[in-house]
Chains A and B, each alone.
Chain A
Amino acid sequence: MSMVLFDVPGPKARVRHKILAVAGIAVALAAVAYVVMRFIATEQFTARRLDWINYKQIQLSLLEAIGNTLSAFAIGAVLALVFGALFAAARLSDHAWVRTPAAVIVEIFRAIPLVIMMFFFYYGLPSTGIKMSAFTAVVVSLMLYNGSVLAEIFRAGINSLPKGQSEAAYALGMRKTQVMTFVLLPQALRAMLPTIISQLVVLLKDTALGFLITFEELLRWGTLIGGDAVNFGRPMISVMIVVALIYIGMCLLLTWLATYLEKRNRRNKKVIKTDNDDAGQVQLGNASAAVGGVTV
């Protein structure tokens, strides 16, 4: 918790906090109870409205929809990472004629809403003769938008490294590419990993925008089954709860991966620190030996 604002509570404050806690629980429970009552009153969880779970066909189509969402995510993520790496490299270039256009492109793609991009590729481009499937339109838009954001993340990560790193590498006679791949990128990637993964969570959520251009993903599956008034009497609520849980589950898994990597990262740094200390001691030992050598 944030200890900035409050002192350690005394006996009076503890009593007050307990009363507030009880009130808070009461309000939260009342809100949940009201929603559940509405669910019951409008018969959202009757056997007919939950019947869709029993159909094998629907279960398979659910798996297929999740598969579509995940493949759009996977391909979009890989392409966005490549796009981001290329444009970050271009923005960090020493040549203004590479740097400036890259900066303009990144800034523009960051400013255009993803929905407009998807509309552009799916509804706009066919008039010029280029036909794209909804899947391609989603993946390309995700690549352009998230790639631009990732390019900025990469660039910020590399710029945040101490200048001494690249200066030392240049002083050792490394080429520009060597400095980037051997010295800057390994350090920057480690620092940026949590940010990159949280951007990938955004990308995963953004696949749901494919719903707007009829891409057959998880959310569209949900509206199709949930809107089925003939067979199941519009089980929109129960279906949407399932869909939301799947999305939240997938995103939380990614977020946990980010925190896990962050933790491992911190642990690694400590290991490196002790390694360095050992190395320092070894060096000291060598130095004293050398000094000793000189005196002898």
Chain B
Amino acid sequence: MSVLTNNLELFLRLFGQTLQLFAISAVLSLVLGTLLAALRVSPVPVFRAIGATYVTVLRNTPLTLVFVFFLFAYPLLEILRIEPYTAAVVALTLYTAAFVCEVVRSGINTVPVGQAEASRALGLTFTQMLGNVVLPQALRSVVPPMTSTMIALLKNTTVASGFAVPQAGSIRDALSEQGDNVLFGLIWVAIGFVVLVMPLTYVQQVFEKRWSVAR
């Protein structure tokens, strides 16, 4: 307990950093992932191929490798200097976007073809069909897996601790430098994550239960 109370400021600051890293990467990956999903369901085969290649490559690469690439290899290309923090955001965003893309795409695919055909037969425009018919139905099957993806992103932010980007995973470094008990420090970090993740899991389960009945 004393590890936590003595270093409360450190814990709060670094968990704040984790949440910040999470929030920025979450927003960016949702945007990028949705764009990629738009590519993957587009009627143009080339766009679909581009989206599919991106998803296959990023989904089968370890996140740590993406981090290594952006922190150790990318600077050698001398394109644009980026801070380690930005590099971490880029790595997390690119990696998570592939998963977001798959969630959105499979969500759209769960909508029966008849729904879109019927709305076209009724003379709805493309945007009306998308906004009033397809997306509201797709959303139901998107939200639960999207929550899991976001939980994974929150936990994945700790990978940044291997690359000198301050977040909750770096509490260990700080504690061992001060000579504090690392074991209890790490237990408190773990508890912190449990506290952050549990409500999200609960929300996900509620959505899953409430909406799975609908179809």
Contacts and interface: CB of A to CB of B under 8 A. Distances in A.
Interface of A: 1-7, 9, 13, 17, 20-21, 24-25, 28, 35, 38-39, 41-42, 44, 107-108, 110-117, 119-120, 123-125, 127-128, 201, 205-209, 211-212, 219, 222-223, 226-227, 234, 236-237, 240, 243-244, 247-248, 251-252, 255
A6 B50 CA distance: 19
Contacts of B182: 119, 123-124, 127
A248 B57 contact: yes
Nearest to A44: B76
A5 B134 contact: yes
B93 to A, nearest CB: 17
Most chain A CB neighbours (cut-off 10 Å) among B73, B78, B168, B201: B73
Q: Is the interface of B mostly helix, strand, loop or mixed?
A: helix
Contact of B162 (A2, A212, A226): A212
B98 to A, nearest CB: 12
Interface residues of B, number: 63
B27 interface: no
Interface stretch (B4-12, B38-46, B82-90, B139-147): B38-46
Interface in B159-189: 159, 161-162, 168-169, 172, 176, 181-183, 185-187, 189
Given A4-B134, A17-B44, A205 B63 contact: yes
Given A108-B194, A205-B61, A237-B73, 9 more contacts: A1-B43, A4-B112, A17-B43, A38-B77, A38-B78, A113-B157, A113-B193, A115-B159, A240-B72
Nearest to A41: B78
Q: Is the interface of A mostly helix, strand, loop or mixed?
A: helix
B113 A116 contact: no
B17 interface: no
B64 interface: yes
A4 B108 contact: yes
Contacts of A219: 62, 64-65, 68
Given A4-B116, A21-B44, A240 B69 contact: yes
A23 to B, nearest CB: 9
B109 interface: yes
Most chain A CB neighbours (cut-off 10 Å) among B44, B56, B62, B181: B62
Q: Which 8 A-B pairs have the closest CB atoms?
A: A208-B62, A251-B60, A113-B155, A111-B197, A124-B183, A212-B162, A115-B158, A205-B62
B47 A24 contact: yes
B213 interface: no
Contacts of A2: 40-41, 105, 108-109
B149 interface: no
B176 A201 contact: no
Nearest to A115: B158
Most chain B CB neighbours (cut-off 10 Å) among A17, A24, A128, A251: A24
B132 to A, nearest CB: 13
Interface in B98-136: 105, 108-109, 111-113, 115-116, 120, 126, 129-130, 134
B50 A24 contact: yes
Nearest to A227: B72
Contacts of B156: 113
7 contacts: A2-B109, A4-B112, A25-B46, A205-B61, A208-B65, A212-B159, A247-B65
B193 A116 contact: yes
B203 interface: no
A117 B62 CA distance: 17
A270 B126 CA distance: 39
A205 B61 CA distance: 7
A169 B137 CA distance: 38
B24 interface: no
Contact of B47 (A5, A20, A206, A247): A20
Contacts of B214: none
A37 to B, nearest CB: 10
